[in-house]
Structure 1
Amino acid sequence: MTPCSPRSAACGRTAPGGTLRAVASVASIASVAVLAAFATGCRNDTAPPWGYPDLKATLGSLSRALEEGCAETAPESCVDDLDRLGALADRAVGQALEHRLLDAAYVDALAGLDRARELRIAAAADARARRDPRYTPFRRAVAAERLAYRRLLAALERIRTAPPPPGAGTDPV
């Protein structure tokens, strides 16, 4: 038997500090990883998860704020709640556009919300000028804007939960 020196191949060492067994185990791990990649195929894993969890969370917040905000109170107290809804809706719209989610009902609901906002702002100015916080057109404008938010929420939820197109997210890279 020959004595083992740190640089001797007989001792299982190939370089200072590294063993032949360690190199062999790393090589076997790498080969298993390559085989796993071949078995599963190369997929486009950068595609967003279907269901869009970030959009789902924002729509949930928008839905809760819509239910909790200005249920049956005076219209002038609803203005702040509607502005908070506007911020949530803007975030949801931004997320939908980021994911490239569009359909005609969504675009119509968005346009309807913009019109309802403009009408509410004009009716609020009229109510302030008349010094009548319960001015009927203002109450109707607030109710119309809340309805427009509900339509937008329904349209966003519909496009969020639509099934993905065939082959989406599974194309080769």
Structure 2
Amino acid sequence: MTACSTARGSAGPGRVRAVACAAVLVALATGCRADTAPAWGYPELGATLGSLSRALDESCAGQAPASCSDDLDRLHALAERAFGEVLEHRLLDDAYLAAGNEVDRARGLRLAAAAKARSPHDPHDPHDPPLGRALAAERLAYRHLLAALERLRTAPPPGDGTDPV
């Protein structure tokens, strides 16, 4: 076989390797173009989730319920920003929607409990037990939302990673 290839003027193993490398590079370049591959990890969503996580960890630490409510309102603004990024990347799924609904329900309960605690007809207790439970429920709902968002952010893209999002 070697005699036949030398007789025909074959270039040898160096040329074969060069052609193989060029073929691999062409395949990679056409299969993984930047305009079709999704942004793996979604860095802007990751930054928002980092802010949401830090704010959640720092919220309500030994504070009165009114101050804690303010912290949870700031969390709501960060969650809305994360929702916008989820929509932008088309990452919605049932678990995220369920966690978002849980946050909305807990937020509604907290706002109702806060209004009742401020009512002039009830004695004003700074550590109103229903308000405390509502605050804890909302913080737990935000933890579930954060977990759902992190799962969405780190899940592999659909298909082989080259499909549009």
CA contact 2:56–2:75 (8 Å) conserved in 1? yes
Partner of 1:133: 126
Moved over 6 A (4+): none
1:52 and 2:42 are equivalent in the alignment:
yes
2: CA distance between counterparts of 1:125 and 1:109? 24
Deviation, 1:79, is 1.1
From 135, 138, 142, the counterpart of 2:135: 142
Q: Call closer, same or farther: CA 1:38–1:71 in 2, change over 3 Å.
A: same
Partner of 2:107: 117
1:94 and 2:87 are equivalent in the alignment:
no
Partner of 2:20: none
Deviation, 1:143, is 0.6
Q: Which has the larger radius of gyration?
A: 1
CA contact 1:43–1:170 (8 Å) conserved in 2? no
CA RMSD in angstroms comes to 2.1
Partner of 1:8: none
| Residue type of the alignment partner of 1:134 | H
Q: How many residues are treated as equivalent by the alignment?
A: 137
Secondary structure at 2:90's aligned position in 1? coil
2: CA distance between counterparts of 1:144 and 1:128? 19
TM-score, normalised on structure 2? 0.76
Deviation, 1:168, is 3.0
Structure 2: segments with no counterpart, 5+ residues: 1-22
Deviation, 1:42, is 5.9
CA contact 1:123–1:141 (8 Å) conserved in 2? yes
1: CA distance between counterparts of 2:99 and 2:62? 24
